[in-house]
Every structure is written in structure tokens, then in C-alpha cells.
Amino acid sequence: MAEKDPPNTRACFTRRALVLGGLQLGAFGLLGSRLYQMQIVEAHRYSTLSDENRINTRLVPPPRGKIYDRFGLLVASNRDNLKIVIVPEDSGDLEQLLERVSLIAPIEDKDRSKVLRRAKRQRAFVPVAVKENLTWAQFARINVEGPGLQGVRPEAGYSRQYHYGRELAHVLGYVGPVSDWDRADDPLLLIPGYEIGKSGVEKTSDTALRGRPGIRHVEVNAGGRVIRELNRTASVPGDDMVLTVDLELQKFALERLEGQNAAAVVMDVETGEVLALASNPAFDANQFVGGMSRSVWRSLMGNADKPLMNRAVQGQYPPGSTFKMVVALAALESGLIKPGESVRCTGRYYMGKSSFGCWKRSGHGHMNMHNAIRMSCDYYFYEIAKRIGIERIAEMAQKLGLGDAYADEFMNAKPGIIPTPGWKQATLGEVWFPGETVIAAIGQGYVLSTPLQLAVYASRIANGGRAVTPHLVRAVGGKSAMPESVEKLDISDVSLAFVRNAMDAVVNGGGTAARSRLELEDVRMAGKTGTSQVHGMTAALRAKTAANGGVIPRKFVDHALFVAFAPVEAPRYAIAVVVEHGGGGSRAAAPVAKDIMTRVLELDIAGRAPFELETPPGRTADDDAADEGLLDG
């Protein structure tokens, strides 16, 4: 017979049972209290959170602002773009998913690699563009098979369309997908496949052209499939824009440059508006929209004629004799040289042990400043440059607009070079020699300029010394983008009038451009020819030329330049033309300028009212706050 537990053992067990029971009861009480708190007291909060799990907020890309030429011709707009995007965190095996999508809309291997690389670099919930410009059949099939393609979303967006892709390629530039190094300081940049400006006006005015995204709230199921759209806030299109460029003149200028590596810039001397900015050869900007195949990119980059280079703002050339007005004005303003003072040109100028030839080997005889400009006498300018010094020449060149890239409106524009002793010491670590002043006087040596700078230079001489700057954009969103006033340069009207008169003689007084006189009744063009040496005539080059029947290899032929303005009596238009390896400026560049200037005057561009945009509603602080909220979210 079993022994009974002693009384003290039973009492101990009872206390433990009561303690354990009490703890269990307390735990169930806390659990019940928490359930009551969550299901009754905080029911609305958790219901909202549940809704947020099934309701997605998506950005709606806005159409990019349209671009018009100065008289209202549409040159850049948007077209529908059907595309596929993938949300990496919802897609499972991304490589396998891309393989399945490729059966519907073929994806090239390089594009697959790009998608996989992008998915790894960015946050998993940010969508990645996979394929753009789908056919309607492909888009419809993706929509039908969507439930079986986890993480895949068909979307409709916009792509840029250039209506004159070649004629305005260097002016407009082009758009392209957001790159890894583009700053994501705008919620728009998070939209898969969104394109931003990469060059030209598209780049310099990108922020204004973008617009603001809209918002869609959509209900999705557990697989991420959209069940319905709950509400939508419309996107705000980017600002429309009006260029200063006249498309008709732009097309004519480009046609006139056909077959040559050349550039031409036409400006309104009163306002600084660029009426034409032509660079040949060109390319089709539409090739860049939505990405470019490697073969096309290689063909453009490997082209020896460099069609992607905007020669009008990136081509840096010795200005040659077009620079002589700089030296003349510097001399007149210094007071060291009198206009009627004569210098005898013998054909060769001597300085110490060095000598410098005039283009006319037999010499021009006695030359005053007027005739030296008219006949482009090198000897005369050698002499007066030695007297006034390089610093005065450089100062005048900068006043007249040389050495400035005007980079605010012109993408990747080059500044050229206006040399000084300080520049040489800082750049090359060498001292300046007197002979370098002599060479600079005829626009050679270290002196470099772009066609755009030469057009500004001619404009400032023509308009009486007003410091106009070049502009490509006339209005954005209905608001003028032009400056309200232009300062007057510290150059005397007498000096400027003297130089303008001499430039008139270059064309209309038997000067170096006499064959390029305008054939319009009672309208004259004033100008200055220039020929810049590309390579010195060394013994080796002479031998090569002789072996080639006296023909200099093209790459060693001089560049041809011409700057001009018209009408002489009341200047309104300025032009600069550079023809690479064209030979003499009077032979290759002046005739081009004559034809383009004739067309400008026939079109009467300044006399016609430009296109005006309607002024849109202004952006508010609430709009900025909303965009910041989208980015944070």
C-alpha cells in the first residue's frame, strides 16, 4: 500500500499551482486586452494600414514641353511609348522572368544585362524599364498574360519626337534614359524609362521642359495585378519653348554647307538672338531617343568627319585675318596709332633674327589702317601689334566677345584662347616672346576662336559696341528668356565707325571679298576675310606636295573664314562662316556668307513678329512640397 504524501508537500504543490494559474490568467488577460486594443480601439488604424498594403501609389510621367522655332513651327514634341517595366522585389527569379518576357517582346542580351545591373544597384521596389516602343500586339499580349508574369507591369508613356531631326540636331540636342550618375533629385527620375535632356537645348533647359508627375492610386491583388484605379492626379506638362532660330534659314544654311566640314552662325546684332546655328556634317537626333544600337553609335563615333561635334560652338580655329579688327580697335583706343598713319609693306617683316611674311609676297607698299583692313595687309598689323603690345590686344578681344564659351545656353561650348604672357606662363610654364605678339596680330599662334564667338564679335562691332550675348531660347512657358537691357562697351563710337567703314570697303570697295558683294538692290554687306594656317610649309610637306602634283593634302589646307554684317547703313544681322580646309576665306567662306546673308535679308526675319506662347499658371510652393513628398515616399 502506497504511502501518503506528507502535509507540507501537498501544501507546496498547491501554492505552485496557484502561482502558475495566476500567471496563465494574467497572460491571457494581457492577450485579451491587446486583442481588444487592436480590434476595437485601433481598428480604423489597422484597416488603413491594410488598405495601404493593397493600394499602390504610382507616378504618372508628364509629357515633355514642346519646342517651336521662332515663327511657331513645331520642331520637337512627344509620341506614345508602350513599354514593359519590372518591379524586382515582386519578380522572383529575374533572369527567368526576362526569358519569359522575351518570348513576347524580344530583349537583346545587352539590354538584359542592363536590366539586371540596374536591379542590383537600386532599391528593390523601384521599377526597372525592360522594353520600350512595343507594338500594340506585344502590349496587348503582355496585358493578357500579366497575371502569370509576377512583377511585370505594362505601361504607357511618352517618347521624344524630333520633326527636323537632322536640321536642328546640334541646336536641340537629344534626350536619353536617366543614367546611373544622373542625380535623382526629382521624383520624375525614378520613373522607369524616363528620358532627360542629354545635349543641346534639351539639356540646358531640361528642368523647365520636364513638367511635374501625376499620381495614380491603384488597388492591386496579392500578385501585384491592378484590380482598379481608385483616383488620379493629372501630370503637369513641361513648359513649351520658343527658339530664336528660324527653321527655314537653318535649313538653308545647312544645305549651303553640304559637302564641307563647316559651320555658320547668324545673329541679330540688336538682341543677340541666334537665327541660325549650322554645323555640317550633322546627325539625326531621333537616333538617340530610347537608346541607340551599338552599331549606330560606333558608326557615329568612328566617323572621321565627326558629325556629333557641333562645330559652331565646339570647333576652335585660328581666326586668321578676321582678327585684324581687334588689333585695329586696340590700336585706335590706345591712342598710339593714328588712322592715317602709313606703314610701308615690303612683303616681309623683320624682328631680330626672325622674319614674318605678308600674304602678298611682293608687298602692298604704303598702307594706312583703312587700306590695311581692306586689303588684309599682314605687314601693317605686325608693326602696330609690336607697338601696342599683346595685353591691349587681348583686352580688346575679350571686350568684343572672344574667349567666352557662353556655356549657359550652349552645351559643351569651347572658350577658345586669347593668349597673354600670364596665360602662357600659367598654361605652358614659358615666357612670352615678342614674335608671338606679331603672330597673334593676324589671328595665328595661340589665338583660337569658335564660329559663335566670331558672330558675337561681328555683332558688337556692327551695333555700335553694345555687349550682346548669344541666345538660342526666346521664351519658356510664355515668359521671355531674353535679357531686358545690354550694356555699352567702353569703345568709342568713332573707332567703331572707322572699322565698320573699312569692313564695308573689304566687300564693296575693291577689297579681298569684292566677289561676294550682295546682289540685292541698295543693300550692302560689310565683312572681313580670314585664312588660318593649319600647318607650316615644311620641307617634308613641300616634297609631299610636289609628289602629289602640286596638290596639298587636304588635312594641311588652310581653314577659310569670313565675318560680316548687313545692311551697312543700319546693321541688323551678323554672320560668321568657317570652312575647314577650305583654302582662302575670300574663295571658300565669303561666298557661303553672301548666300546665307542674302537669304536672311529676303526672309526679313527681324521685321516679322515672332511666335508667342500663352502664359501658363505659375508653380506654387505647394507644388514643390508635393514633389518633395513624392521623392521621400
CB–CB of 289/163 below 8 Å? no
Nearest Cα residue to 481 out of 617, 607, 610: 610
Residues noted as catalytic? 321
C-alpha distances in Å from residue 249, one per residue of 200, 278, 303, 324, 595 = 19, 10, 27, 29, 11
Nearest Cα residue to 162 out of 174, 170, 154: 174
d(CA 206, CA 197): 5
Count of other CB atoms within 10 angstroms of residue 22: 10
Q: Give the chain's radius of gyration (CA, Å).
A: 35
Angle, CA 68 vertex, CA 475 and CA 72 arms, to 5° = 95
Strand 354-357 and strand 348-351: the pairing is antiparallel
Residue 620 corresponds to which cell in the numbers above?
506654387
Cis bond upstream, residue 567 (ω within 30): yes
CB–CB of 322/561 below 8 Å? yes
Nearest Cα residue to 111 out of 87, 90, 128, 92: 128
Cis bond upstream, residue 281 (ω within 30): yes
DSSP labels, 598-627:
HHHHHHTGGGSPPP-PPPPPPP-HHHHHHH
Q: Is 488 helix (H, G, I), strand (E, B) or coil?
A: strand
3-class SS letters over 219-243: EECCCCCEEEEEEEECCECCCCEEE
What number of helices (H) and strands (E) belong to the chain?
A: 22, 21
d(CA 320, CA 397): 13
Q: Which amino acid is at 453?
A: Q
Look up residue 551 and give its DSSP letter: P
DSSP labels, 51-119:
HHHHEEEEEEPPPPPPEE-TTS-EEEEEEEEEEEEE-GGGSSSHHHHHHHHHTTS---HHHHHHHHHHH
d(CA 320, CA 533): 8
Q: Which string of b and e fits 199-208 if b means at least 16 CB within 10 Å?
A: bbbbbbbbeb
**Distance from chain centroid for Cα 341:** 47
Residue 578: strand pairing partners: 263, 561
Q: Which amino acid is at 137?
A: A
CB–CB of 64/158 below 8 Å? yes
Strand 241-243 and strand 67-68: the pairing is parallel
